[in-house]
A and B are shown apart, each in its own frame.
Chain A
Amino acid sequence: MSEEYEVPEGLYYTEEHEWLKVLDDGNVLMGITDYAQKQLHEIVYVELPEVGKDVERMDAIGTVESVKAVSDVYSPISGTIVEVNEALLDSPELLNEDPYGEGWIAKMKPRNLDADLKELMTAEEYKKHIEALHH
């Protein structure tokens, strides 16, 4: 069974399969990638971070559970959680259906964005990363 994974250009990626999008106002949106949701499959439960919480880059800030497995969600950057996607509490399947859109997890105010972005992968690099996981 071969699968294709969507990896949009212009986003930044972690090795743990989170994506990050820089917004015009300087804040960022983050979520889990198409690859992550396809690996987990059938997500039935999400734990979201607390609004107002300060986190370090790669802190575990939430969990995503499918029928079969539990997975931590890591913060791609250091900063403050300013908003979370509460729709996921009642509709966790949004993470499967639209991981880069309606399935976003948190909006964050970055503390050290330029330095943190250097640690993240581009779409090209992330595509190679997931290819390597399958060979």
Chain B
Amino acid sequence: MSLKKTQLYQYHKEHGRLIEFAGFEMPVWFEGIIPEHNAVRNAVGIFDTSHMGRMRAEGPDAERFLNYIVTNDVSALEPGRGLYTVMCNERGGIVDDLIIYKLTPERFFVVYNASNREKDFNWFMRHSEGFDVELHDVSDEIAMIAVQGPKALRTLEKISSRPLSDVDRFQIVETRLSGVEAMAARTGYTGEDGFEVFIFDATPERPEKALQVWNALLEAGEEFGIKPCGLGARDSLRLEAGLCLYGNDIDENINPLEARLRWVVKFKKPQGFIGREALLRIREEGVKRLRVGIMMEERGIPRKGYEIWDGEGKEKIGVVTSGGYSPTLNVGIAMGYVPREYRKIGTPVRINIRGRLARGKIVKFHPFYDETKYGWRRVEA
């Protein structure tokens, strides 16, 4: 099977180290994961996220349809605003996590995971029966670039036809980027301030507009030390921010309550939604395990699949779902699921690192880092 390529493949091939991800040939790094990671935490970096799934949902029932599919309340959105949500199966398991933007009362734009492109679109199609809504998979027609970091706003504004400082988090606006028609949303997957931009009329066969914006961003951000970033830094940044990766931290056998995504489940939506009854039952019975953050207190890097043990090293209590080296904290960090009684911050745990039970503890993990020093909430000095 040959791998798919994004609109920016030519750049990646010339400048990056390529790997396979979700059926795409993507850059894992350009210069290195650590310098790219640090560029985003301290200044600005750009990521090609054109491999992600994107869909338009249009029609009189578009809002009612989406509200039935996902757990969060789409009807609460004003035009020009978006929200983070999950969608569940009938058992309450997470089919995917996604962002939904309301462009106009009858036009919505949906962004979902690259690894779930086909599964999700089929899921949407299957459940759209009886709704007056048209669904269009536009994943290959629109390029997507994430501009992330404390200097993302200033970088993007330099090539934008409209000012962007008035754009709120999860707001989406139309603009022209170095003359190219686009949308910019104040969202991201790094914990930092920044934008995800959507470039219209840019297919893998006609990548000129995507390349033009990519190169314009690199030039605009040069004064701030901008770096092109690969999937490696994307993963280490989202891990430090405590954000879930589908397939690791959430999947169809994990429900949003144990994943600590209760805040995106709106039980009181009058219409109901797929998975509501199962989730109500789970809430009634109480969740048995919870997603937690772990920081190592000994040398060693926890990785996906490693066992989590209790603090005395007597028994296995869970499994690491995402883990790695944190460049910002210079220590191994992880997320995983453990029984409720271990959820408290400060609880000692062990990680089985190739046979050695290395010491760690449960920590605040959304995000792992100090929010007065890093992340979008920090006040610019």
**Does B325 lie at the interface of the complex (its beta carbon under 8 Å from any beta carbon of A)?**
yes
In contact, B232 and A68 (Cβ under 8 angstroms): yes
Chain A residues with Cβ below 8 Å from B29 are: 41
Partner of B232, one of A63, A67, A70: A67
**Does A45 lie at the interface of the complex (its beta carbon under 8 Å from any beta carbon of B)?**
yes
In contact, B16 and A1 (Cβ under 8 angstroms): yes
- Categorize the interface residue count of chain B: 20 to 34
Known: A67-B236, A68-B33. A45 touches B17 (CB 8 A): no
Chain B residues with Cβ below 8 Å from A70 are: 301, 303, 354
Q: What is the bound-complex CA distance between A70 and B323, given in angstroms? A: 13
Q: What is the bound-complex CA distance between A45 and B300, given in angstroms? A: 7
Chain B residues with Cβ below 8 Å from A63 are: 354
Known: A1-B14, A1-B15, A44-B325. A67 touches B33 (CB 8 A): yes
Within 8 A of B (CB), among A27-48: 41-42, 44-45
- Categorize the interface residue count of chain A: 10 to 19
Nearest chain A CB to B157 CB, angstrom units: 32
**Does B105 lie at the interface of the complex (its beta carbon under 8 Å from any beta carbon of A)?**
no
**Does A16 lie at the interface of the complex (its beta carbon under 8 Å from any beta carbon of B)?**
no
**Does A54 lie at the interface of the complex (its beta carbon under 8 Å from any beta carbon of B)?**
no
Q: What is the bound-complex CA distance between A89 and B324, given in angstroms? A: 18
Q: What is the bound-complex CA distance between A1 and B32, given in angstroms? A: 13
Within 8 A of B (CB), among A90-135: none
Nearest chain A CB to B131 CB, angstrom units: 43
Partner of A67, one of B13, B14, B17, B324: B324
Nearest chain A CB to B264 CB, angstrom units: 30
**Does B268 lie at the interface of the complex (its beta carbon under 8 Å from any beta carbon of A)?**
no
Nearest chain A CB to B179 CB, angstrom units: 30
Chain A residues with Cβ below 8 Å from B34 are: 42, 67
Nearest chain B CB to A94 CB, angstrom units: 15
**Does A65 lie at the interface of the complex (its beta carbon under 8 Å from any beta carbon of B)?**
yes
Partner of A45, one of B14, B33, B236, B301: B301
Chain B residues with Cβ below 8 Å from A89 are: 299
Q: What is the bound-complex CA distance between A45 and B13, given in angstroms? A: 29
In contact, A65 and B301 (Cβ under 8 angstroms): yes
**Does B217 lie at the interface of the complex (its beta carbon under 8 Å from any beta carbon of A)?**
no
Chain B, residue nearest A96 (CB): B32
In contact, A42 and B16 (Cβ under 8 angstroms): no
Q: What is the bound-complex CA distance between A29 and B34, given in angstroms? A: 30
Chain A residues with Cβ below 8 Å from B17 are: 1, 41
In contact, B32 and A42 (Cβ under 8 angstroms): yes
**Does B39 lie at the interface of the complex (its beta carbon under 8 Å from any beta carbon of A)?**
no
In contact, B325 and A67 (Cβ under 8 angstroms): yes
Q: What is the bound-complex CA distance between A68 and B354, given in angstroms? A: 16
Chain B, residue nearest A41 (CB): B32
Chain A residues with Cβ below 8 Å from B301 are: 44-45, 65, 70
Nearest chain B CB to A40 CB, angstrom units: 11
Per-position 1/0 for B285-329, Cβ under 8 A of A: 000000000000001110100000000000000000000110100
**Does B145 lie at the interface of the complex (its beta carbon under 8 Å from any beta carbon of A)?**
no
Per-position 1/0 for B1-42, Cβ under 8 A of A: 000000000000111110000000000110011100000000
In contact, B28 and A68 (Cβ under 8 angstroms): yes
Per-position 1/0 for B69-105, Cβ under 8 A of A: 0000000000000000000000000000000000000
Chain B, residue nearest A39 (CB): B17
Chain B, residue nearest A63 (CB): B354
Within 8 A of B (CB), among A47-84: 63, 65, 67-68, 70
Partner of B299, one of A41, A42, A45, A67: A45
In contact, B15 and A42 (Cβ under 8 angstroms): no
Other A-B contacts than A41-B17, A41-B29, A42-B32, 19 sampled, CB-CB below 8 A, are: A1-B13, A1-B15, A1-B16, A1-B17, A41-B32, A42-B33, A44-B301, A44-B325, A45-B299, A45-B300, A45-B301, A45-B325, A65-B301, A67-B33, A67-B34, A67-B236, A67-B327, A68-B28, A70-B301
Which A positions have Cβ atoms within 8 angstroms of B? Answer: 1, 41-42, 44-45, 63, 65, 67-68, 70, 89
Which B positions have Cβ atoms within 8 angstroms of A? Answer: 13-17, 28-29, 32-34, 232, 236, 299-301, 303, 324-325, 327, 354
